[in-house]
Structure 1
Amino acid sequence: MKGKTPQEIEKLKKEKEKKIRTWTEDKIVISKDWIEDERGQIGRNIIRGGVYMCALGENIGSEQGELRPVIVISNDLINTSSGNVYVVPLTKNLKRKVKKDTERQVVRDKDGRIEYLDEPKLQSHYFLKTDKYDFLEYDSAAMAEVSRAVSKIRIKTHLGDLLPGDLKRISTRLEWVLGIKTSSRKK
């Protein structure tokens, strides 16, 4: 690992192992719940464009984990007939574009700090704001590049629903991530 001492690396490894062991215990409980209620889980009314809390667990590298909000992006036929749904995780860590002047130079404020635009730095992200979606605890970025299928048993509380235009823009980013479209920068 870049810039870390061997002791720091060992500490991080032990922390990760502890988190994975805890998640494994939790996953066993969740798996047993699925076995007891498979039919009920498949029949759950989970909708496209819904924002839900989801137990993504402990993962590896930059895979999104933990209990976090996700957007269900799979179509409603799958959502009503399958035990899995496809989701786009949200993060409260907004990576913004750096503001540049007409000569493409980075703009700084009077204190010398870099100024940022209120738009995603990454083409695969889409911002959702709490002033529009008051059910979100934080302004959030939908991260299409880490989308994944999850079992419905991982889907917890329904927080709210996205407006069709925002869902379309997130779908466009997902299409770009999957190579279906060449650009996700549609307004």
Structure 2
Amino acid sequence: MTTPIVRRGDIYYADLSPVVGSEQGGLRPVLIIQNDVGNRYSPTVIAAAITSKLGKTRLPTHIDIYAQKAGLAKDSVILLEQIRTIDKRRLKEKMGHLDEGTMHEVNTAIAVSFGLGVATAGEREDGSVIG
């Protein structure tokens, strides 16, 4: 099996099992957040879990994505507090790619998740708080 050409912002289905405790698992969509140099040369990628359960507690690390824009079956939420390094062999079908505006929101949520101090508080279109 050949390894896919993976780009930052791509959404793939990935097999995240096995898991422990509250980790997101199973076959689910993930967002590739690793830089493209790492994506090209490393056998692993850094990815964030995506869920279609929209009723989860809203956190500043959650980014809404619309199904038709992301190549998914349902509107979903990127969980940027659920970030993992996974082997590329876990990646299955490519579903889509996020636009630059959504990736800017992702970058802000990553900064919040990692406590980088570069994120500024603000509001999304839906009124939820960033930062």
More helix by share: 1
The one-letter amino acid of 2:78's match is A
**Distance in 1 separating the partners of 2:92 and 2:99:** 21
**Distance in 1 separating the partners of 2:92 and 2:121:** 29
**Distance in 2 separating the partners of 1:93 and 1:165:** 23
Residue 170 of structure 1 is matched in structure 2 by: 106
Please list every run of 5 or more consecutive structure 2 residues that lacks an aligned counterpart in the other structure.
125-131
SS across alignment from 2:25: coil
Structure 1's consecutive aligned runs of 4 or more residues displaced over 3 angstroms after TM superposition are 182-187
Quote the offset at 1:148 in angstroms.
1.1
Q: Which has the higher contact order (CA 8 A, sep 6+)?
A: 2
**Distance in 2 separating the partners of 1:146 and 1:127:** 15
Report the more deviating stretch, 62-71 or 86-95: 86-95
Residue 127 of structure 1 is matched in structure 2 by: 64
TM-score normalised over the length of structure 2: 0.85
State how many pairs are aligned: 123
Aligned pair in 2 of structure 1 residues 151, 127: CA closer, same or farther (>3 Å)?
A: same
**Distance in 2 separating the partners of 1:185 and 1:84:** 33
Verify the 8 A CA contact 2:44 2:85 in the aligned structure 1. yes
**Distance in 2 separating the partners of 1:84 and 1:167:** 20
Alignment of 1:1-187 (within 5 A): 40-41=2-3, 44-95=4-55, 121-133=58-70, 135-181=71-117, 182-183=119-120, 185=122, 187=124
Aligned pair in 2 of structure 1 residues 142, 171: CA closer, same or farther (>3 Å)?
A: same
RMSD of aligned residue pairs (Cα, Å): 1.9
Quote the offset at 1:131 in angstroms.
4.3
The one-letter amino acid of 1:152's match is K
TM-score normalised over the length of structure 1: 0.61
Please list every run of 5 or more consecutive structure 1 residues that lacks an aligned counterpart in the other structure.
1-36, 97-119
Quote the offset at 1:94 in angstroms.
1.3
